[in-house]
Each structure stands twice: as C-alpha cells, then as structure tokens.
A and B are shown apart, each in its own frame.
Chain A
Amino acid sequence: DAKTTQPNSMESNEEEPVHLPCNHSTISGTDYIHWYRQLPSQGPEYVIHGLTSNVNNRMASLAIAEDRKSSTLILHRATLRDAAVYYCILRRFWVTGTASKLTFGTGTRLQVTL
C-alpha cells in the first residue's frame, strides 16, 4: 500500500478552523483517502473518505489536491472534544475475497486549547 506522511502534532485554539495535512505522493489511481481519529482511551472512529473530489460531512471536510498527492482534513471549528490522533490512510479499491485492512501510521496528534 502507498505510504502517507503526516506531521507528528499540531495545535489549535478552540473555535478556530484546523487544517490537517497529509502527503501521499505515491498514491495510485485506485487508492481512496480515508481519515480516522482516535480520541484518548478509545478505539479509532471513521471521519471521512474521498477519491478525487472534495467531500463534506457533519464531522469534517476533505480537500483533495488536483494531482491527489496530498489532502487536507478540515475541522471547521475545533472544540476540545476534537483533541485526538488523526490518521490519514490509503485504501485500495476493494478486491473480492480480501479483507478491508487499514494500515495505520503514527498520525497527527491534535491539541486544542481554550
């Protein structure tokens, strides 16, 4: 699977937007970009995913570069509850009979302060 690169940590003030970058320069045409986050003492939770177009949901927005070599997860108004480790993961087009394995890297630890 192609590799992703994320900053180890970022800080944000509460109520401000946060842009979490992810580089994936070796992404292939069949790789989807997934984001998960892991709150303290919890299992990871799905945030958003996309292929080529920008995506929005109730949790966040995903902006994907035109060449797909990078993407940015956008939290529009960070709250203290958004403090977590955010993982950017590439997943191939699902192949029949295979499991949907996620390869987690070290992610970005987001700190949100008052």
Chain B
Amino acid sequence: EADIYQTPRYLVIGTGKKITLECSQTMGHDKMYWYQQDPGMELHLIHYSYGVNSTEKGDLSSESTVSRIRTEHFPLTLESARPSHTSQYLCASSEYMGARGQETQYFGPGTRLLVL
C-alpha cells in the first residue's frame, strides 16, 4: 500500500489568490511528479523532480511552480489563481522495480481545484 498524501482534497478559491497544493510521501522515493487532469480527459505531466533541489517542467506548460526542499514533500504553488487553473492535480512518486530501472508510480488521491 502506497503512502502518498495530498491536501486539500478539494479547494474553491477566488481569482487572484495564491494557493499551495501539498503532496507528501513516506516511502522515501526520490522521484516525484505532478500531473494535471481535466474531467474525463488525459493526465498531463506538468512538473517532476529527481530528488532534493531538483525540479523540471513536464510535457504540459503550466503557470504553477514547484519546490523540493525535502525528500518527502513536493508542493505545487500558483501565485495568482485564475479560472483556467480549474482542474484536478495529481501527485505521484516512484520506486525502482529492479531490472532495467522500470518503475512503479504511486499516485495520491488528487486535489480538485475550482477557481471562481
């Protein structure tokens, strides 16, 4: 059973507010990820991290930023929320599966964000 947590689960907020979505994992995984998913649509990678002090942008451009100061935490921040940021944000972490570095990603339950 994977131990990866996201808070809040649901967030309704007004335009222009600064928000931080929390993600934490207790498995000691080095690699962590943020995905964005609109209802009924594909997941898109927006940020990832190899380890502490390492962050990279993903395949989908995002106005959000991330930080990785501690192995366990990978928070995502929006400096000024807009209605276009309304979506579900999913955090994941991964571990090695042995031969050839194939990995399993473990996902958190997600944060559903609604910006009014």
Binding site for B on A (CB under 8 A): 32, 34, 36, 41-46, 49, 91, 93-94, 97, 99-106
A43 contacts B90, C-beta separation under 8 Å = yes
Please give, as numbers and ranges, the residues of chain B lying within 8 Å of A41 by CB-CB distance: 110
Residues of A within 8 A of B59 (CB): 101, 103
Q: In the assembled complex, how far is the CB of residue A59 from the closest CB belonging to chain B, in whole angstroms?
A: 12
Q: Is the interface of A mostly helix, strand, loop or mixed?
A: loop
Q: Is the CB of A43 within 8 A of B42?
A: no
Contact A99 B109 (CB under 8 A): no
Known: A43-B108, A46-B106. 14 other contacts (CB 8 A): A32-B102, A42-B110, A44-B90, A45-B106, A45-B107, A49-B97, A94-B101, A99-B33, A99-B49, A99-B50, A100-B101, A100-B105, A101-B58, A102-B105
A101 engages B110 (CB within 8 Å): no
